[in-house]
Amino acid sequence: MTKIKEALEILKRGCVEVISIEELENKLKLAEKESRKLVVKLGADPSAPDIHLGHVVVLRKLRQFQDLGHEVQFLIGDFTGLIGDPTGKSKTRPVLTKEEIGKNAQTYRDQIGSVLDMKRTKIVFNSDWLSKMNFQDVLMLAGKYTVARMLERDDFENRYKTHQPISISEFLYPLMQGYDSVAMKADVELGGTDQKFNLLVGRSLQREYGQVPQVILTMPLLVGLDGVEKMSKSLGNYVGISEAPKDMFGKLMSIPDNIMWNYWELLTDHDMNEIKKMKNEVEEGKLHPMTVKKDLAVEIISQFHTHEEAKGARDEFEKVFSKKENPTDMEEYAVSESELSPLDISVVLGFAPSKSEAKRLIKQGGFKVDGKPVTDPFSSVTITDGMVIKYGKRKFGKIIKK
């Protein structure tokens, strides 16, 4: 197999779609011949610098391009961020200040560095070119696409059919994103399958502006912790890559058993045959799903923390949730009173968002003093030094008597 073929094999893996393979092959050949790097584009939202495992699926693919010698241009959509991608429900968003954008960009830099090779990564902002366009430029751009073609987009079509509002500015969004590719002279653009339409607009526009259209690669959307919706920050069903190992571990253990195969496939380098083998063994009852899930969690966490930390998270999880023991490290709280009610303790330790909620939780048996439930919110608890309070499933606190 030639080098190019090998590269193609690597790049194809895991993709839902590549448009088109032939074009990608040509680009790779040309790049080699002219000994230049392909510009590989990935766009990101400026307001949510909180990279989660869903993004990692795509970032890993970018990394493969880098390992093959190409350059990643990580686009921060500080200008498009004013509208918000219609894929979501959000409409216009508050304008971010330059400082905020700069800060978010730095956060991105810090976070994507755990997956990407930052020496081969360039960060760009689309306000650099979009904010300079005047109304005439916008008209020219808008003239290159039709309403009917816009409505082909799944999301628009659905909303249109179900009588949901679509603002004109939302129609502009794909055009802006497409124009980014023109401005960046992108050779390749990656995205989740939900981005396919936008990516294709990029191709059309590049053609209109006399460029060779970018090749697009779409990646599967990672299912979130609920096992149903795609992983996203706004749905709260995500694992952030800068989270603490123990939080990552807990969250990963909360995914439904049946979607963990998906995680194995998209988030680890594990051999596909081995993954299938594990799946069969679980189905045959030879392997406990929990064990497999724990291994998965360790393997994922090790990519963002040390292997030791990942294993530590596992031990801690087993200790707290399987053996129902107290965590090794607990937040300590100094208390001077000698008697307090469970309700007061919940409030004093800051565990309860509201007193009504605390009362409910206590009555339901979710409040424990040294492992023993106290269900009367108003009973009197004698405060002793080193006393351990458990509030709900995950909140622990150790009391230090003053």
Partner RNA sequence: GGAGAGGUUCCCGAGUGGUCAAAGGGGGCAGACUGUAAAUCUGUUGGCGGACGCCUUCGGAGGUUCAAAUCCUCCCCUCUCCA
Q: Give the interface with RNA as residue ranges (CB under 7 A).
A: 160, 163-166, 226-227, 246-247, 249-251, 253-257, 288-290, 293, 317, 321-322, 353-357, 360-361, 364-366, 376, 378-379, 392-394
> Minimum CB separation from RNA for residue 369, in Å?
13
Torsion sign over Cα 299, 303, 307, 312: negative
> Minimum CB separation from RNA for residue 307, in Å?
19
CA–CA distance, 235 with 221 (Å, rounded to integer): 14
Residues 6+ apart with CB under 8 A from 389: 345, 349, 351, 367, 368, 369, 396, 397, 398, 399
Residue among 12 and 378 whose Cβ is closer to RNA: 378
Residue among 19 and 259 whose Cβ is closer to RNA: 259
SS3 380: coil
- 326, burial (CB in 10 Å: exposed 0-12, middle 13-18, buried 19+): middle
Residue among 253 and 330 whose Cβ is closer to RNA: 253
> Minimum CB separation from RNA for residue 93, in Å?
17
- 8 A C-beta contact, residue 43 and residue 191: yes
- 370, burial (CB in 10 Å: exposed 0-12, middle 13-18, buried 19+): exposed
> Minimum CB separation from RNA for residue 57, in Å?
21
Q: What is the DSSP letter of 321?
A: I
Alpha carbon 86 to chain centroid, angstroms: 18
> Minimum CB separation from RNA for residue 378, in Å?
3
> Minimum CB separation from RNA for residue 163, in Å?
3
> Minimum CB separation from RNA for residue 96, in Å?
24
- Selection from 192, 80, 66 nearest residue 131 by Cα: 80
Residue type, 162: T
Residue among 131 and 379 whose Cβ is closer to RNA: 379
Residue among 97 and 322 whose Cβ is closer to RNA: 322
Residue among 61 and 368 whose Cβ is closer to RNA: 368
Residue among 8 and 166 whose Cβ is closer to RNA: 166
- 8 A C-beta contact, residue 267 and residue 251: no
